[in-house]
Amino acid sequence: MNYRLALFDIAGTTVSDPGFVAEAFVGAMTAAGHPIEPETCRALMGYRKPEAIARLLGEAATPAKIEAIHDDFVARMLRCYRERPGVAPLPGAESTFALLRAHGIKVALNTGFSRDIAEAIVTRLGWSGRIDALIASDEVPSGRPAPYMAQALLRRFGIDDARALVKIGDTEVDIGEGRNAGAGLVVAITTGAFRRDELEPYAPDAIVDSLFELPALLGIDASARDDAA
């Protein structure tokens, strides 16, 4: 298959998450009077964040409460990604981006975060020149596993055949997004929220333990990685 677009998740897939996301969820929920444990958040990683908050609130969810908690969550995440140590590319991310682009494959990032958080991460890492596109869950009608972000990027790059898309992510909703978009290859990675045995039931086409493994799945010789980077 002639792949033309690689769509990567951010936190846990291409960027380290030293617990910032769970910490922000716990802090925002607790401040609103709905304390939760960090482990409770794990199953909701990858989802659009207002939807995740609604699920955490359950019957207590109201539009006003969801919005207030999300505003607090966003403020906490922005502080983390702008100021705190530990924000770094995961091994192989930057060299894989460069290698794919050198082979004519567009590199895009998407996320369950809102656009402001996504831009803070890209700015912090200096990635604006390393990727071809960034899209966030608040820019489309519905977040993952719906295919809207992937479809928007396919249109942006004039790609008519969704099978030219490769989706890479660390959660069940990344896998679902790839499937719902009709991606030619859906790859799960174990560097984030879920272990291999937790990802296997969602039947991605491949599961990798590192981004260093991705080029081979696309038929790309990784021996030129250093030159591409």
Whether this prediction's pTM lies above 0.85 is answered by: yes
pLDDT tens readout for residues 137-188: 999 999 999 999 999 999 999 999 999 999 999 999 999 999 999 999 999 9
Which residues on neighbouring strands pair with residue 8, listed in sequence order? 109, 168
Q: What is the mean pLDDT of residues 205-209?
A: 98
Confidence of residue 224 (pLDDT cuts 50, 70, 90): low
Average pLDDT over residues 21-42: 92
Give the pLDDT of residue 42: 86
What pLDDT shows up at residue 178?
98
Residue 225 has pLDDT above 90, yes or no: no
**226 to 97, 107, 126: CA distances (angstroms):** 12, 18, 19
The pLDDT assigned to 83 comes to: 92
Digit-coded pLDDT (tens) for 46-85: 889 999 999 999 999 999 999 999 999 999 999 999 999 9
Residue 43 has pLDDT above 90, yes or no: no
Sequence-distant (6+) residues with CB within 8 A of 129 are none
pLDDT digits 0-9 by tens, 101-129 = 999 999 999 999 999 999 999 999 999 99
- Residue 120: the pLDDT is 95
Question: Tokens 């250093």 map to which residue?
Answer: 226
pLDDT of 206: 98
SS3 183: coil
What is d(CA 222, CA 229) in angstroms, rounded to the nearest whole number?
A: 11
pLDDT given for residue 194 in this prediction: 93
Count Cβ atoms below 10 Å from residue 161 Cβ, excluding itself. 12
Q: How many whole angstroms separate alpha carbon 149 and alpha carbon 157? A: 13
